[in-house]
Chains A and B, each alone.
Chain A
Amino acid sequence: MLTQLILALVTFQQHSPTYKKTKRFFYHLLEDPDSRLKSRFDKVMIVSVLFSVFLLIDEVDTPASSFERMFEHVLIALFIFEYLLRAWLYNDIHHIILTHHAKALYLNHPMQWGKVAKIIITQKVAHILTPLAIIDLLAILPSFRSLTLFRALLIFRLFKLFRYFKSLRLFAEVLESKRFELYTLAVFLSFLIFIGSIGIYLFEHAANGQQVRNLFDAVYWSIVTVTSVGYGDIAPQTTGGRLVAIGLILTGFGVLSFLISIIVSAVNDKMHSLRENSIYAELKHYKSFVIICGFGRVGQHIAKQLEKHNQHFIIIDNNKINAINARRLGYLVIHADASKNDVLINAGIKQKASAVLCTTGDDVVNVYITLTSRYLNSSIRIISRANNPQNVKKLYQAGADNVIQPFEIAALVVAQYIGKPVAFEAILGVIREEKQFIMETLPVCAGSMIDGITIAELDFDGRKLMLIGVVSANPTHRKHKNSYALKNQHFYFNPPPFFVLRTGDLLVVLGREIGIAYFREQLKNSRPKESKR
């Protein structure tokens, strides 16, 4: 009966969307390092912990007010709730039970509840024994004022800040990564202090009994000396004692240097991944961004343009010098191989990245990055650079939407410039929004004020706009002349006054930015509410 009840309960948990949603919410609140909710929660907890510590210190001299007591109770309740939630989030009990149940059914064996309970308890205990969980527990204890010993545990409430300060946590991780070196150093240091203490006790206790009264004084002196603190309250009087002091001071320098070098090298080792993690975290805050693979000459110019237009981007370059240059310019850079799946995935190719630009100077690399990007995201826009015209087709085959050839484009500019420099500069200026006038596309949305009306009815002159043409895939327009085939659609240049606009058409207009923006707003407001959404 109990078995059936437990199984029904865990099956409900397994399939209940509310249960999953609740657990996901608390995961985002407490554990998800990329969650904004967690970031806000951490800030609240930092302030609360500091305030509570301040109140507890204040209580040493003055009796606690009712507000202080109430605040302490609320905070402790919050700590206990948080502690239990973290224990709950640590693993899925229902998952363990269901897995074992399925296994038992398959093998036609009875369910071994004892074994399942052992696994569950072992996992929960493993969580309870983690350093941060212990700190969480100890942070709750100082509230039991009746026990004086527990008040000393107040310090653990400050340790709890490790949970909420990312940089403190990272520093702990750095030290953790050098555990072996630190352990070796600690053993050596203990040995040194032991020898120093025994030596100073043997030499000084008899001749200088007032200062070195017992072994504790000797240990105290050794630690003060080896760390180069040297208070001077205990000073060796005998030659033997002074020799021990010289030995301890000299080896102390070595130990300190070793300790510093361990920490510096650990921070240095970790710095690369720390920097990358901070970049990934920053990317997650953007609505969309562009991935630039390769920070050579072309990549630099693209970055400059994107920066000028306040668009977010991330640079991936395997070349150290390029990566340093990009970093110096203040750009977000990942020094890695962009053709690796995990590099592009971490950079957000499957999430918020809107386009990938393959701009390295090597066509082989560009083909590979293009292929990788297309494999990872079938809908992302990919623009690739081809240095050799023979590779253009290969880049398209690899999945590029557009292929650019620096010399072909430059040649086009030269060819256009000759004979019509003003006209060409003007059209370039218009495209790049360097002139007062810009060229924009405006969509004809279903039900909007321009859907189904003729060009003549639109009165472009009155709006101080110029209609260059209409881009459309609608077959009803085919009868019109001046039709130029584009990919899957046609461009109708200088459409006649009787040209009827249809849903999905794109108007290509030239005009002042303010005029185009006003017309766009009018079009948006004229759309039915549902399509606006």
Chain B
Amino acid sequence: MKRIAVFGYSIMSLEVIKQLNEEHYSYVFIVKNEAEALLVAEQGFDTKIIDFRNDEAIKSVGIGENIDILFCFYPKDSDNVFLTISARALDNELTIIAIVDDPESAEKLLAAGANKIIDPYEICGRKTHDMLAKPDITDVLDNTVFGRHDLHIAQIEIPTNSSLEQTKTSALLLAGTYNLILIGVVDKVSGDNLHFVMDEKEHTLNIGDVLVVLGPARDIKAFKEEIEAVTAA
């Protein structure tokens, strides 16, 4: 289970937690005052009142120790930049996700060490355009992959000693065997870029490569378990 530290109480932070699967994540909410702490505690989350400007206080939350993901959701960009810099200095491996109010601050947050910048208005604008430009596709994806239905997009890493090592992507036949559609492969050697399987070049799988698949949660789980079982055997 991954542990997430959420700095800043807002609609955004509550929405994110609502979207995440509670079985896989635990949270600690960092709030400014008692009133906010009471509101968050009512919703069943751990809360802490600290001053984010103080490194010792940040450490006390678990950053640099047991926190895997940090949400910088303060309304002011300057606060998020300061928090990002402080947290990155404490933990180089931490995944930092920050929201941005002024688009100009995005680059500053990236420079400060954030992994992902979220501009709610930009995302909303793009989403509206997607709805206009491709209503059928967005409707399908919103109702399935991003919606209430049990269809997911997942990343599955080829583990060490996997039987899939040196297998060609065309030989996987995931659609017929596992009811999964293989979208593409992230080649560990060539970086984080996704190579789509319909591409001219056939890819041979190696340990550490990541398969990006689309399918029902149960089938994804079954496929993952089978890979791991084969590996263990």
Contact = CB atoms under 8 A, between A and B. Distances in A.
Contact of B121 (A355, A381, A406, A425): A406
B99 interface: yes
Given A411-B15, A414-B19, A486-B143, A298 B181 contact: no
B144 A484 contact: yes
Interface in B137-177: 137-141, 143-146, 149, 151, 153-155, 175
A304 B122 CA distance: 10
B134 A431 contact: yes
B12 A411 contact: yes
A309 B133 contact: yes
Interface string A414-444: 1111111111111100011001110111000
B41 interface: no
Contact of B146 (A407, A412, A484): A412
B95 A418 contact: yes
Contacts of A471: 136, 140
Contact of B131 (A383, A482, A515): A383
A260 B154 CA distance: 71
The winner among A407, A435, A468 for most chain B CB atoms within 10 A is A407
Contacts of B141: 427, 431
A494 to B, nearest CB: 5
A65 B104 CA distance: 71
A387 B28 CA distance: 26
Contact of B137 (A410, A413, A431, A466): A431
A351 B124 CA distance: 27
Contact of A422 (B137, B180, B210, B214): B210
A510 B198 contact: yes
A349 to B, nearest CB: 16
A482 B218 CA distance: 12
Contact of A406 (B116, B123, B154, B181): B123
Contacts of B196: 435-437, 510
Nearest to B130: A431
A491 B127 CA distance: 21
A515 B200 CA distance: 12
Contacts of B184: 426
B212 A404 contact: no
A409 B130 CA distance: 13
A468 B126 contact: no
Given A298-B125, A426-B212, A484-B149, A466 B197 contact: yes
A300 interface: yes
Interface of B: 2, 10-12, 15-16, 18-20, 24, 69, 71, 95, 97, 99, 116, 118-141, 143-146, 149, 151, 153-155, 175, 179-181, 183-184, 186, 192, 194, 196-198, 210, 212, 214-216
25 contacts: A296-B121, A297-B121, A298-B121, A302-B125, A302-B129, A306-B129, A385-B128, A410-B15, A411-B15, A411-B19, A416-B146, A421-B116, A422-B186, A422-B194, A422-B212, A423-B183, A423-B212, A424-B153, A431-B138, A465-B198, A468-B214, A493-B144, A493-B181, A493-B214, A512-B198
Closest 7 CB pairs of A and B: A301-B125, A411-B15, A415-B19, A297-B121, A305-B129, A410-B120, A406-B124
